[in-house]
Amino acid sequence: MKFLLIIPALLLSIFSFAQTTDPQDAVHKPFIKLVEPTKSVINVKASRQFVVGSTCKTCNLTINGKEVKVYPTGAFAYELNLKPGDTVFNLIAFTAPDKSTSKKLNYNYTLPPPPDTVKTLDIASIETFPEGNLFVMPGDRIKFKVKALTGCTVFANGNIPLYEMLQNKMPGIYQGEYVVKETDSFLVSKLQITITDSIGKAVTKQTKYWVSMFGPLAPNIAVTKGRLAHLLYGLGNDRLGGAKIGYVDSMVLLNVVGKVGSQYKVRLSKYRTAFIDDDAVEFLPKGSFTPESLTDRWTVYGDSAFDYVQLGLLARLPYQSFQLVDPSKIVVDVFGATNNTNWITQLENTKEIKNVTYEQIEDEIFRITIELKHAQHWGHSIYYKGNTLVIKVKRQPEKLDLQHLTIAVDAGHGGSNTGAGGPTGSSEKMLTLAVSIKLQKLLEQAGAKVIMTRTTEKFVDNKERILFYRDSVPDLLISIHLNSTVEPIRVKGTSSFYRYIGFRNLSNAIHKHMLELDLKDNGNNGSFNFMLNSPIEYPNALVETLFLSNPEDEMKILDDNFQQQIAERIVQGIQDFLEHCKHKP
């Protein structure tokens, strides 16, 4: 019997030791594990480089004899300033003279080459803007940038002159643009660029992409499909996917007037265009009506949970919405709509909508303005019921305390989407999950109902997250992340993010409490183009708790105690936000 009791105790002791002790530290065996660079021979074109990684927690570290700060986690980050040519760096980690290990890094820094001008009659490169295969219409502009031999005559497509930019440091850069005319008849073909020298010798090359007229016989009316079709302001792109106007319902009619690469260009009104991914639409047969409508009957009313604005239309037209504050308003622009309204029926059972007005701000843009009773925006959604446009307005909760609210907690990344990495090899996906679970427990202890994106280590696509919360309709959403940068030494601290001005107060309240943890202030940042900040249905905030790339910040977030403090500050921020709502009717 005693033997049986000893075994579990022994196993527990071994498990506890494994959880709290790094085996390499237990025997003081030095090691060097690098996360940057990942190779021992590194070719670079910038003099400023960083060596980032970890060693044993009790180790000292030198690089070419210079002592490097090692954090209690074993993490380190060291800045190099290279000179042209080869430089060898010798890293030595040691606990005692007879207990050491080393690693060599060979950097080859090559200075940027001088301007590589074209030396003979030739065309080195051709760029077209917009970039990609183009379907164009009269009025569209095609821009050309060509690198070729200096001092020549250059034409695009035989009759479009390109001019040498003599102010450039590099000679031989020719630019020009062309406005597509009614008489043009571009086929699906690449354009020709011809360069001619002073004695009449010429060279011709083709553009990389083809151009075609968006012909009158081609279908030009499309409808959106799926639940996440979204309009883009333009062709600009970034790592977050380009600036979105907003999501639109399915079966919304769009007037397609061109295509650039994989994005259709759509005309929303006389002077307004947008873009949409080609996989978000499907075309109707030729002869389908252009998306336009007179406005019909209006009704403004409430039910047991929400307020509504309903506007009758003859077709599902595209739209966008935005928020105003001081005083709080929801503004919805309906593209292709023309006023034909004689009155708006406004019932007395609304609890959040104070008043509704409209204005024809220009041809084909009909503006709906919804005045709210409370200062805080709590979200709204826009959809169609048949051809009736519905704006569903969320009311401010009657009881503004956690035990009467539903809070969504989104642990960023997960599964194959690991997110940022730290010097010791830590991963954002694991740490956001750890903080999120602590936040969940605190919120539940305060009486809140909590909805979690994930409670285990798994992949959840961002589109799935948006649809899940759209259907769940939480009162608030908090998304937990860790930041990262290529500059691991000086860049650190905390920041928060929101997209819509009406949701700013939530992220700002959380950010103020995060700064109580003695973290560098990187701001409460607005207009953030991230998918989890894109929903208009509920206030949401993204918290970039710390910079995982920074050894000091990583050390903090690896501490279970500090994770708990972060969760506590977020809860305090939410509570401050709710108190502010109570005292600002």
What is the fold of 402-583? Aminopeptidase (3.40.630)
For residues 555 and 214, what is the distance between their CA atoms, to the nearest angstrom? 58
Angle at 171 between CA 166 and CA 173, to 5 degrees: 80
Instruction: Give pTM, 2 decimals.
Output: 0.92
For residues 93 and 34, what is the distance between their CA atoms, to the nearest angstrom? 12
pLDDT score at 28: 67
pLDDT score at 18: 37
Q: Residue 207: which pLDDT band, with cuts at 50, 70 and 90?
A: very high
Phi–psi pair at 509, nearest 5 degrees: -65, -40
Q: How far is CA 19 from CA 73, 182, 423, 471, in A?
A: 14, 74, 20, 40
For residues 252 and 244, what is the distance between their CA atoms, to the nearest angstrom? 17
Domains 293-394 and 402-583 share a fold: no
When pLDDT is averaged across residues 562-571 and rounded to a whole number, the result is 98
- The region, left, alpha or beta by phi > 0 then psi within -120 to 50, assigned to residue 321 is beta
Q: For the chain, which residues make up each domain, given as ranges?
A: 29-109, 123-213, 221-283, 293-394, 402-583
- The span from the first CA to the last CA of the chain, in angstroms, equals 69
Report percent pLDDT > 70 for the chain.
Answer: 95
CB distance 400 to 582 below 8 Å:
yes
Q: At what angle do helices 428-445 and 560-583 cross, to 10 degrees?
A: 50
By three-state DSSP, how is residue 24 classified?
Answer: helix
Tokens of 455: 């409670």
Q: How far is CA 76 from CA 160, 378, 398, 563, 569, in A?
A: 57, 44, 51, 21, 28
Contacts of residue 103, Cβ cutoff 8 Å, sequence gap at least 6: 32, 34, 40, 90, 91
What is the fold of 293-394? Immunoglobulin-like (2.60.40)
- CA atoms within a 13 Å half-sphere pointing along the CA-CB vector of 511: 22
Contacts of residue 26, Cβ cutoff 8 Å, sequence gap at least 6: none
CB distance 393 to 438 below 8 Å:
no
pLDDT tens for 71-108 read 999 999 999 999 999 999 999 999 987 899 999 999 99
**What CATH homologous superfamily does 221-283 map to?**
SH3 Domains (2.30.30.40)
CB distance 553 to 481 below 8 Å:
no
Residue 6 has pLDDT above 90, yes or no: no
When pLDDT is averaged across residues 14-29 and rounded to a whole number, the result is 46
Residues forming a β-bridge with 51: 78
What is the fold of 123-213? Immunoglobulin-like (2.60.40)
When pLDDT is averaged across residues 506-526 and rounded to a whole number, the result is 98
For residues 233 and 243, what is the distance between their CA atoms, to the nearest angstrom? 6
Nearest residue to 482 via CA among 387, 548, 424:
548
The more confidently predicted of residues 18 and 191 is 191
Q: What is the mean pLDDT of the chain?
A: 93
Torsion of CA 457, 461, 465, 467, to 10 degrees: -150
Residue 218 has pLDDT above 90, yes or no: no
When pLDDT is averaged across residues 396-423 and rounded to a whole number, the result is 97
pLDDT tens for 279-317 read 999 999 999 999 999 999 999 999 999 999 999 999 999
- Would you call 335 exposed, middle or buried from its count of C-beta atoms within 10 A (0-12, 13-18, 19+)? buried
pLDDT score at 215: 76
The architecture in CATH of the region 29-109 reads Sandwich (2.60)
Tokens of 61: 């570290």
Report percent pLDDT > 90 for the chain.
Answer: 88
Residue 413 has pLDDT above 50, yes or no: yes
Residue 327: is the preceding peptide bond cis (ω within 30°)? yes
- State the residue for tokens 């843009």: 365
